[in-house]
Amino acid sequence: MKHLIGLVGTNSSQSTNRKLLQFIQMHFQEEATVELMEIKDFPVFNKPSDSTLPSIIQEAAEKIEKADGVIISTPEYDHAIPASLINALNWLSYDIYPFVDKPVMITGASYGTLGSSRAQAQLRQILDSPELKARIMPSSEFLLNHSLQAFDEENGLKNTDQIEKLTGLFRDFLVFVDLVNQLVQAHGSNKKEAENFSWENI
C-alpha cells in the first residue's frame, strides 16, 4: 500500500483544506495511507548562512523523501497561496531537496466560488521551479468551492459529484505515482541541478 503525505497548505487552525485532507485520509484508507503534515509550527524562513536547518524542517523533509507521493491542499488568499505555504516551500528547498521528482497532487478548498483555482495555478509554477523540481500530476484540479458548507458533521463531503471526481483524481494519482517512480534514470542529475542552482550565478 502506498504511503502519501497530505500537506496542509495553511497555518489556520480552522482550515477547510485540513478537513479536505482528513476526508481523503479517511475515504481512501483502503487504497493508501495518508499522513497529514502541518506547517503551522514552521519558523519564518531566514536563509541561515550556515545552512543549519531547524529539526522540524529536517523531519518534514525526511518524511516527504520517504513517501511515495504528496498531496498539497491550498486555500487562496488574494489570488495566491498563503504566505505560510510559501514559507514552508522555501525551507523545503534550502539545502534539502525532498520534492525533486516527487509525485505531487494539488487540491484546494476556498470559501468562495472559484475553489482556489488561481492559487493552484501559482502553486504549480512554484513546484516546477529549479529548486523544487516536483512532478505535478498534469491536467488535474480538485476545486472545492463554498467549502464552509461542503462538509457534514462527520467531516464527510456532502456533494456526491465532488466525491466522484475526487475519487477519480485520487486513483489517477496512484497510477501517476507508479509511473513517476519508474522515471529514475535522471533523478541523480535532477537533484544535482537543484543543489547547484543559484539565481546569483545566472
Write the CB contacts of 74 (distance below 8 Å, at least 6 apart in sequence): 9, 10, 17, 81, 82, 85, 106, 107, 108, 116, 119, 120, 123
Do the beta carbons of residue 11 and residue 84 sit within 8 Å? Answer: yes
Report pLDDT for 200: 62
Share of the chain above pLDDT 90, in %: 77
The C-alpha cell at 137 is 500530476
Cα–Cα distance between 58 and 55 in angstroms, integer? 5
pLDDT bin (cut points 50, 70, 90) of residue 199 is low
Mean pLDDT, the chain, integer: 93
- The mean pLDDT value for 145-159 works out to 93
User: For residue 14, is pLDDT > 80?
Assistant: yes
- The mean pLDDT value for 10-23 works out to 95
Report pLDDT for 10: 96
In tens, the pLDDT along 106-138 reads: 999 988 877 789 999 999 999 999 999 999 999
Number of independent structural domains in the chain: 1
Share of the chain above pLDDT 70, in %: 98
User: For residue 197, is pLDDT > 80?
Assistant: no
Give the domain extent around 93: 2-201
CATH of the domain at 22: 3.40.50.360
- The mean pLDDT value for 47-64 works out to 92
- The mean pLDDT value for 42-68 works out to 93
In tens, the pLDDT along 167-180 reads: 999 999 999 999 99
